[in-house]
Amino acid sequence: MKELEERILRDGNVLGGEVLKVDNFLNHQIDPKLMQSIGNEFAKHYANKGITRIVTIESSGIAPAVFAGLALGVPVVFARKQKSLTLTDDLYSTDVYSFTKKSTSTIVISKKFLEKTDRILLIDDFLANGQAAKGLIKICQEAQATVVGVGIVIEKSFQVGRQLLEEENYEVYSLARIRAFEEGQVKFVEE
Ligand code: G4P
């Protein structure tokens, strides 16, 4: 998505060789117009796929997911991260390890917001090592819902996330695919 790639080049900062800081428009301050274009792009790609619900994870997945939900006319559920979990029967939960943040969080979704008839579109801001997406897939499987696709705003294609998801036959649609960071410069995958 050209508009997004241009914004990454303009406002993104490469930190420590592997992390792209995009807090100017996605991870802290949010640009609603850009998020709307992002939502529309996901909706265009997943139109006619019978999506009934979008699932994302707090916090930075919520903005693009909500705009996609608006464009597709479906509800958006976000997994909550819980530090200490008092087990309750009405929650699906799983542990997600973040290689980037070097910490594990327990993510939960209330059972009342996932149905086995659901056709789910997963959305997240970044795809890096794929652990967040895998955790969300696990929860959807527990609910016996169908995951139709994984929509990603920014994919770091040099990390294993896409490969892990494709190995399990999930379709990944990323709006910006980063091939590498070269001397602090973002290089996109040429398609
Ligand atoms: P994964 O997202 O594919 O599971 O990979 P990983 O475990 O490596 O990363 C987990 C967290 O790190 C996620 O945030 C993800 O958005 C973030 N992340 C990964 N790479 C980058 C990057 O290059 N830039 C930025 N800004 N974030 C990155 P999270 O823990 O879900 O937190 P939140 O920011 O959504 O609240």
What SS3 string covers 66-114?
HHHHHHHCCCEEEEEEECCCCCCCCEEEEEEEECCCCEEEEEEEEHHHC
Establish whether residue 125 lines the binding site of ligand 1, counting it when its CB lies within 6 angstroms of any ligand atom.
yes
Q: Whose CA is nearest to atom 26 of ligand 1?
A: 21
Range of the domain at 113: 35-177
Look-up: residue for tokens 């990454």?
8
Reported as a single tens digit per residue, the pLDDT across 11-43 is 999 998 899 999 999 999 999 999 999 999 999
In angstroms, the CA 177 to CA 191 distance is 9
Measured from the CA of 22, which atom of ligand 1 is nearest? 26
Output the pTM of the full model: 0.96
The residue whose CA is least distant from atom 16 of ligand 1 is: 126
Q: 48, 29, 30: which is closest to 38 by C-alpha?
A: 30
Answer yes or no: are the C-beta atoms of 5 and 38 closer than 8 Å.
no
Q: Based on the number of CB atoms within 10 Å of its own CB, is 73 exposed (0-12), middle (13-18) or buried (19 or more)?
A: exposed
Q: Does residue 87 register a pLDDT over 70?
A: no
Looking up residue 135, the CATH number of its domain turns out to be 3.40.50.2020
Number of domains forming the structure of the chain: 1
Q: Residue 127: inside a domain, yes or no?
A: yes
Query: Cα dihedral angle (91, 100, 126, 164), rounded to 10 degrees?
Result: -80
| Ligand 1 mutation pick, 78, 100, 127, max ligand atoms within 8 A of CB | 100
Does residue 23 lie within any of the structural domains?
no
Question: Binding residue per annotation — 20?
Answer: yes
In a domain, 47, yes or no: yes
Is 130 annotated as ligand-binding? yes
pLDDT tens digits for range 123-181? 999 999 999 999 999 999 999 999 999 999 999 999 999 999 999 999 999 999 999 99
Side-by-side strand order, sheet with 103-110:
91-98, 103-110, 76-82, 53-57, 119-127, 146-156, 172-182, 185-188
Q: Give a yes or no: residue 22 inside a domain.
A: no
One-letter amino acid of 87: L
The reply to whether 149 falls in a domain is yes
Average pLDDT of 91-119?
93
User: Is the model's pLDDT at 88 over the cut of 80?
Assistant: no
Residue 90 in any domain: the answer is yes
Domain annotation covers residue 183: no
Average pLDDT score over residue span 33-62: 98
CA distance 67 to 103: 29
Cβ of 110 below 6 Å from ligand 1 = no
Question: What is the model's pLDDT at position 44?
Answer: 98
According to the model, what pLDDT value does residue 143 have? 98
Cβ of 126 below 6 Å from ligand 1:
yes
Q: Is residue 77 part of a domain?
A: yes
